[in-house]
Amino acid sequence: MNPEKPPQEKSVAPAAVVIGSSALAIMLAALSMLGPFSVDTYLPAFPDIQASLGATPLEVQQTLTAYMFSFAVMILLHGALSDAFGRRNIILVSLAVFAVATLGCAGAHSIEYLWTFRMLQGLAAGAGVVIGRAIIRDLYAGAAAEKLLSMVTMIFSIAPAIAPIIGGWIVKHMNWRAIFLCLFIYAVLLLIYCYRRLPESLPHAQRHSFNPSFLFHSYHRVFRSPLFHLKAGTIAFNFAGMFLYVAAAPVFLVEHLKLGPDQFGWQFIPTVGGIFCGALTANRMAGRLPVSRQVGIGFCLLLGAAVFNVSYHVFFPPALPWSVGSLFFYTFGMSMVAPGATLLVLDLFPNIRGTVAACQSFLQTMLAALVAGIIAPALSHSPVSLAVGQLTCTLIALSLWQGGRAYRQFLEARKNPNAWETIE
């Protein structure tokens, strides 16, 4: 079996004829947007939250860490719950919980209450990301799945671009609480839309019982797999290189680039423009180029952008557009690597894809939480340090990808007929 090509079997589910691929992509992208809306929209409001709640800058920063940590922990269960109770049911419940938590954030009267409701938001927000990937793989295979995944990424990429702009505009003309009220309205509308249109892609016959023993066995199978850590780690560290700048945006943009809260688009538009263009390119390449070559092109862009970013800030002070321009090419490469690598991760365990998607998102989000809570505050004092941090993440990701390919080739060279089961 060629490890770079996912199996071409196609799940047969009634949902496949209920909704078209374009409508499904829009719906899943809208669900995935909950994450960036929850993170990026309120970044320009950090000073306003600090003044309103009488909190320190670090305490406000930890509202992001609290969200990311709970997001990562609960994301492990979203996939398992969807494998047991169906994709649709878990998404609807999560949307309802998210709406309640968001309303709580809007009414928080202390930083401790905001931490609590942000954690509750994080517990619910990850369902769309994890279960959306599982839905795609339930219904599509091979190039069709890669195309749909990249289409979701293209639509989803709108959110990180407009979220900080909208947040900056709201906090400038109203206040930070209005940001969460708008997010509450979005969640309610999405809940109504999904209730009416979201199909169930996992038939009852393919579901697994939800019990601690089965969960432990499933997680044990996934987390003991070297290939899972190598391939999922590739995606996670590439994302960390981008998220480092997201978490550091309030300092990087306001202190180093001297921009106002309504000017966060200077960083997020090129960042998301790269995500969109990279996903579009991956969509066009799906089925035409091997996954390994597509990933190789992506890493060339990632490394080139990261090296330029370091070189510029070593010799020149931070300035527009040079300090943010490289983010376009970095995220372009990141979006070319992610679809193929994600499908390879999901296909390591075809019978528990929801759980695998959850484990992958757990690793990615825990690393992002570490970046938000420790690495970004430690590096944000210097543009050079931020650039070096991004380059380091990219080099780690490349090493993991190459390590995964070498490990796979090693197993095949042994000609072990049970190699696939061994990897699981």
Segment (H or E) for 146: helix 142-156
In this prediction, residues 146-166 reach a mean pLDDT of: 73
pLDDT in tens, 85-139: 878 888 899 999 999 999 999 998 889 999 999 999 988 887 877 787 778 777 7
At residue 278's C-alpha, the angle toward residues 408 and 79, to 5°, is 60
The upper half-sphere exposure of residue 237, i.e. CA atoms within 13 Å in the direction of its Cβ, equals: 23
Neighbouring residues of 339: CB distance < 8 A, sequence distance ≥ 6 = 146, 149, 150, 153, 279, 282, 286
pLDDT in tens, 351-368: 777 678 778 878 888 888
pLDDT averaged over every residue in the chain: 81
Contact 253, 259 (CB under 8 A): yes
pLDDT at 159 over 80: no
Q: Which amino acid, residue 141?
A: A
Given this model, what pLDDT does residue 157 score? Answer: 66
Given this model, what pLDDT does residue 220 score? Answer: 86
pLDDT at 282 over 60: yes
Q: What is the DSSP string of 148-196?
A: HHHHHHHHHTHHHHHHHHHHHHHHHHS-HHHHHHHHHHHHHHHHHHHHH
Among positive and negative, which fits the CA dihedral 344, 347, 349, 353?
Answer: positive
**Second-level CATH architecture of 18-202+209-423:** Up-down Bundle (1.20)
pLDDT in tens, 30-41: 888 888 788 878
| Measured distance CA(96)–CA(89) in Å, rounded | 11
Given this model, what pLDDT does residue 416 score? Answer: 58
pLDDT at 29 over 50: yes
Given this model, what pLDDT does residue 404 score? Answer: 85
Given this model, what pLDDT does residue 418 score? Answer: 52
Given this model, what pLDDT does residue 18 score? Answer: 55
- The CA–CA distances, whole Å, from 265 to 19, 179, 206, 317, 382 equal 34, 17, 44, 20, 21
Give the chain's largest Cα–Cα span. 66
DSSP 141: -
* Extents of the domains making up the chain: 18-202+209-423
Residue with tokens 């091997």: 290
pLDDT in tens, 64-73: 888 888 888 8
| Measured distance CA(120)–CA(105) in Å, rounded | 10
Q: Which residue stretches of 107-141 are H helix?
A: 111-125, 127-139
Contact 39, 67 (CB under 8 A): yes
Confidence of residue 291 (pLDDT cuts 50, 70, 90): confident
| Measured distance CA(171)–CA(399) in Å, rounded | 42
